[in-house]
Structure 1
Amino acid sequence: MKSPSASEFDARAVIRHLPEKPGVYRMIDASGTVLYVGKARRLKRRVASYFNRSNRGSRIDAMVRQIRDIEITVTHTEAEALILENNLIKQHSPRYNVLLRDDKSYPFIVLSDHSDFPRLGFYRGSRRKGGRYFGPFPSATAVRNTLSHLQKVFPVRQCEDSFFRNRSRPCLQYQIERCTAPCVGYISPADYARDVSHAVKFLEGRSGEVIDELAAAMEKAAEALDFEQAARLRDRISSLRQIQEKQYISGEKGDLDVVACVHEGRQACVQVFYIRGGQNLGNRSYFPRIPEETDEDEVLTAFLARYYLGRQAPREILVNGAVPEKDLLEEALSRESGLQVSIRQRVRAERRRWLDMAVTNARAALAARLASHAGMQQRFEGLQQALSLAEVPERIECFDISHTAGEATVASCVVFDTEGARKSDYRRFNIRDITAGDDYAAMRQALTRRYKRLREGEGRLPDLLLIDGGRGQLKQAMEALEELQVTGVELVGIAKGPDRRPGEETLFRAGQEDVVILPPDSPALHLLQQVRDEAHRFAITGHRARRDKTRRTSRLEDVPGLGPKRRQILLKQFGGLRGISRAGVEDLASVKGISRELAQRVYDTFHDDGPAP
């Protein structure tokens, strides 16, 4: 239903025809822009309240002055209205609603429905495809960390099916003992199914059962004098216990989220801790955009609706503030999730401590955002929007190659997060055994060396990998990551424009044909330029140091028994290295202090065709 528009809005005429039924209303301005979306148990009464001057503040006053139309949608129940309200707010992003900017779907771990050798992998999106899903997880980082733990303890394959089907020999994951090579038949379906079963129990929070089964198998192997197998099982048990120590929450067994909201001025932070199967999967900070005169309870209530409607909610949500429409929100979440969802504020003992921790983290995150690094955070958020990423990246790594006509090739890797450059994580790679000047091979070698180490547990993967170059360099990065089976990392190539001037860069994304060109004043582009330029500087510095060291090193230093004094004598006698290289053995031996044997060694250093006749 839509009211007639008019240059001067006649609120009474519109309200007169509104029904006393549940539904959603939309406030519209003169340009047709949606100012506000709300839901009501009785539309007529709720909309009329906006035009009662005695009950509204300055924010409502400002909105009401702009209203030129009101649209409504009648629903059967208030819970349906709440769900529709959430969808419309996501669609229109009204100025006067509390908006959650980072509003993408949760990432999951999925176990494919492959008949003999299913894979575990990263997944985000609609769960309509076959397979079994575990999660949700708070971020891609949490998924990767969990998959990394699983691969060390239960070597279930994580490679893509296309990669799996076309193998004729085991890949790197088998060599580093992260996979049992089912692609080439190195493990039977029954043994593989056992590993899958253990991985599933771990993801379900039943790691205690897994440890008991592994302990029994270890004892059986020891009794059979298969000590090598017993040692492998012992190491698995040890790894599982270490994971339990890091992730297990005493006293909690089910799935729950802990949500805390703090508010200061026009800024608010909502901190969410995720507990799944008794395991702490980490936490995330959210900074919703809020209108003026919005208190913490309003922000918390709006966050719960914006965040959980349309997603899989846990059975229990702990909150640090009052939720005025708690019963209604529980009904809507329960309907969508297929579970009985409870929202609880008054908790004690262990749960009270977790709620206090969430509040502490929210305050710390808000203080950090209000500090000087807020600009960097905004750049990261701008990058998410500019590239349509699923979530705000928390860590960016960038690679660049530097050399002089193929000499002393060095690759650099720089790391940035929302705090800025993380120089302690920078790395350089001296590139060897490639054709001089082959930048593609250099890039592939650097990426392979870098992410092979990370796959072995020596660091953390980035959320976004930036490559200084165009489609060719990006292809090398894609192939290197595929060979290592690194997933969940966004790949972007950045190439300078035709005139190589800043502001004309072209962005290439893996798997997409269309390029992205950001405006010169884009904060996201400024961030990418900063990261790219830092990688370039770091690569050039390393290249120059390596090149200078090579050029300073004389081939005479490689001659056994030829010390600094004798080298100086030879250089003076023959006028430099070129003169020494042209001299015969007899000429060299005629120099004081140079024996014939030593002269022969000097001669051999400059001639590869054997001793002089």
Structure 2
Amino acid sequence: MTEFEKHKKELRARAMKLPLHPGVYLMHDKSGKIIYIGKAKALKNRVSQYFGSDKNHDEKVRQMVAHVDWFEYILTDSEFEALVLECSLIKQHTPKYNILLKDDKGYSYIRVSKGPWPRISEAKQIADDGAEYIGPYVSGWSVKQSVEAAQKIFRLPTCNRVFPRDIGKGRPCLNYYIKQCCAPCRGKISEEEYREAVQDAINFLRGGSAESVRELTRRMEEAAEKLEFERAARIRDYLAAIKKTAERQKVVCSKIPEQDVIAMTQGSGKTCFQVFRFENGRLTDRETFFINGTGMPKAVRGEFLERYYSMRDRIPPRVTLDGPAEGQELLSRWLSEKAGRKVTITVPQKGEQAKLADMCRNNAAEQLAQATGRTGREASALDELARLLGLPEPPAYIESYDISNLAGEENVAGMVVFENGRPLRSAYRRFKIKTVVGQDDYASMREVIARRLEEYEKNKDSGEGFGRLPDLILLDGGKGHVAAVQPILDAAGYNIPLFGMVKDDRHRTRAIAKNGGEIAINSNRSAFTLISTIQDEVHRFAIGYHRQLRKKSTISSTLLSIEGVGPVRAKALLKRFRTVAAIGDADLQELIETPGITEPAARNIYNYFHPESKDD
């Protein structure tokens, strides 16, 4: 027994002496620093779990346990008091292994530069540069969206050209041709008209679209009455652009006036949370948080809610989640007391709220994809698959197997690998079935998985190819295949999720098979597409290998039927001529010149393909 195992056993013995009482526990490292703080309904049960089997622990917990030197605890009167104390202590000590969110919510401003051709932009702070600053605003995302909308509506330039210096010195950019810039660079607008457009944009940003629409409508009618049709047409275009922007904003709206929508996605050792904040039924702010490591979604979601609202004063009456959170009722009570009114935490299953949660999760997947070098579609598919199969985190490394034979002849298997949702062809492997005679797909699959695990034991030090264990195994078959193979994994002591891929009568993916039943996947579009792709790929790979062997077998049987031609000479002929057809077209001299082929053997080969020449 190693020193670590001895120490872990001592810590577990001490944990078993803790009371079955609510409280907070604090884990310390050798230097005495607090590295983790948690709460518990029953301290004995919760703390002892850390120092038992690490089979069900995620990587973050295993690392934390490895650094624990000792722990202490504080008893509380209730689990709710434990939650409040835990939040306070985490804020005070910022332990390494707790989720810690950086609160970078500073103020943002709208900047209007000075000079005859002013520009509108966003700014994080006020500078002493003579420019006009509008604000402050709490939401930087909202300021950015508003400035971009104003620039497009009123066709203000966003390039780096300086006016009037650069007027007439270059061709207008693409924005001019798609009617998103008034092109001062080409003199398409006068200085007076430009300043009027900038002032309209400022009024739009200060007063909102409704106020701008009323004022612009009044000015358009006034210009029309004065027969200033060009000016009236320009204002009409502004109004049309405002209306179009408003229609786009309605796509992201909520019937519930004030709420937060929170969703998460995991993958490649990271977790991404996306927060959509709604006020007056409109999306007013959006925040993205990245957390190193992954874990059980329910626990991670609960911990995130604690950390997020510990650093937020504004708490909406409703929090919508994309999945259940650990201690959801307790968190709802804590938020209610913090806000001074009832706060409801919900996990919608259908309707508008479910669509908002899905949209939020898709945005989280896209952000995570950009951070990890994947596409949003791949991240979303793996995240959806993990939820569907109940996996602790999205499977980054998937292996899939299929058996192929013809009435038991040329019995083979194919293994394909998908890494981060993409085929990893360098890791594909082929197997010739050795121990199964006849057609027995269950026994063949058992042999393949057993051989694959044996290869892992031989190569595990390399961490590549067979030296890497998959996060998920998918078999081309139903629950019978799963039931046949599961004992192989259990006997070897590997806790690898195992599922089957079930096809319908038309050979299309229909469901996921597990021990004792099936999981329908048709309603999960991203996961369905991924599973279908994997199933088609492994079937293609396995049947391709089977056909290759059958073709070789047919060729070999043709050549071996010729008198004087054995396996060595057949191989020599195929090496030189590549195909049986080319051997048949060769003349006698070419056959004699083939290494290893004697003249009598060459005559037999030639006569076999040219029976009419035997008499000659």
Given the two structures, how large is their TM-score scaled by the length of structure 1? Answer: 0.41
Higher relative contact order (CA 8 A, sep 6+): 1
Given the two structures, how large is their TM-score scaled by the length of structure 2? Answer: 0.41
